Amino acid sequence: MRRILHLLVISTQREILQWLAWRAFLLTLIINQMVAPLIGLAIWSVALPGNHQISTYYVALLAVQLMTVSYENHTVANGIYDGTFSQQLLKPQPVILGPLGTNIALRVLHLLFGLPLLIIVGIGMGTTWDVRMILLALPALLLAAILRFLFTYLLALSAFWSEQAHAIVSFGETLIFLLGGSAAPIALFPANLHILGEIAPMYALLGFPAEIMSSGLQQSQILSGYGWQILWILVFALALQLIWRSGLRRYTAIGG
């Protein structure tokens, strides 16, 4: 375990250094990630003027988005397509460590580079924060980060079978946008969609921690939200194992 953790730290450090060399490109990626929550913020603060909670919610969502970004369609799927994935298979370590290191590195850099804009928007929109709620949201944030990684990694593994992995991941991202609380906060969904929104994995990996941070949930909702997060993590981890095993058998060194 210690060895694996050590390898993960090394991989993360190496990726941070590598990505720092691509600062300008990284900045465009960060802006790309911020656009959807910013548009949501603009729309909803015009639609519901004077509602500070909704501004707080969207600024929190912006932070969650930056801390949970996942690009496994690029880091994993492309490797399967061009065959460089074979090198990962030869290394005497679990293959997932490579993409996981890149993932953590990118999240750290996204937060670091996005922080100034986050603070400006937060102050500009007159947001208010409750420190207790932020502390309560930290475990949810960690679980959301794990779930988002598993979700994107699972979709990216479709590269073993199909040429459309990028489109499949972007399909998943549209679902996250729609059901994750980015297009509209789940609380504002029509009544019949509300239940579906609350139990969907997309909400667990994006909207839920943001909603705790903006003090939009009652205690019972927070508890059941944590329950759904853990359940979805177990489901996705299991699915990942199955897909990984059968995908690996299909893989040939010349690509998927």
Binding-site ranges for another protein (CB under 8 A): 24-25, 28-29, 31-32, 35-36, 39, 42-44, 46-48, 124, 164, 167, 170-171, 174, 177-178, 183-184, 188-190
Least spacing, CB of residue 185 vs another protein, in Å: 9
Query: How distant, in Å, are the alpha carbons of 96, 113, 189, 250, 251 from that of 162?
Result: 20, 34, 34, 11, 11
Amino acid at 211: E
Query: Over the range 122-136, which residues count as b (16 or more CB within 10 Å of their CB) and which as e?
Result: beeeebeeeeebbeb
Rounded least distance, CB 235 to another protein, Å: 23
Q: What are phi and psi of 255, to 5 degrees?
A: 120, 170
Q: Shortest distance, CB of residue 116 to another protein, whole angstroms?
A: 16
Q: How far is CA 128 from CA 114, 162, 213, in A?
A: 19, 46, 10
Q: How far apart are CA 105 and CA 109, in angstroms?
A: 6
Nearer to another protein, 60 or 183 (CB): 183
Taking each helix axis from N to C terminus, what angle separates 23-47 and 52-67, rounded to the nearest 10 degrees?
160
Identity of the residue, 183 or 205, whose beta carbon is nearer to another protein in the bound complex: 183
Minimum distance of another protein from residue 107's CB (angstroms): 17
Nearer to another protein, 118 or 178 (CB): 178
Closer of 46 and 253 to another protein (Cβ): 46
Is the distance from CB of 98 to CB of 15 less than 8 angstroms? no
Which stretches within the chain are classed as H helix?
A: 2-20, 23-47, 52-67, 72, 78-82, 85-90, 97-124, 131-156, 165-179, 191-199, 201-202, 208-213, 219-250
Shortest CB 110 distance to another protein, Å: 13
Nearest to 153 by CA among 99, 234, 202, 231: 99
CB of 46 to another protein, least distance (A): 5
What is the closest distance, in whole angstroms, from the C-beta atom of residue 49 to another protein in the complex? 9
Query: In this structure, what are the phi and psi dihedrals at residue 248, rounded to the nearest 5 degrees?
Result: -60, -35
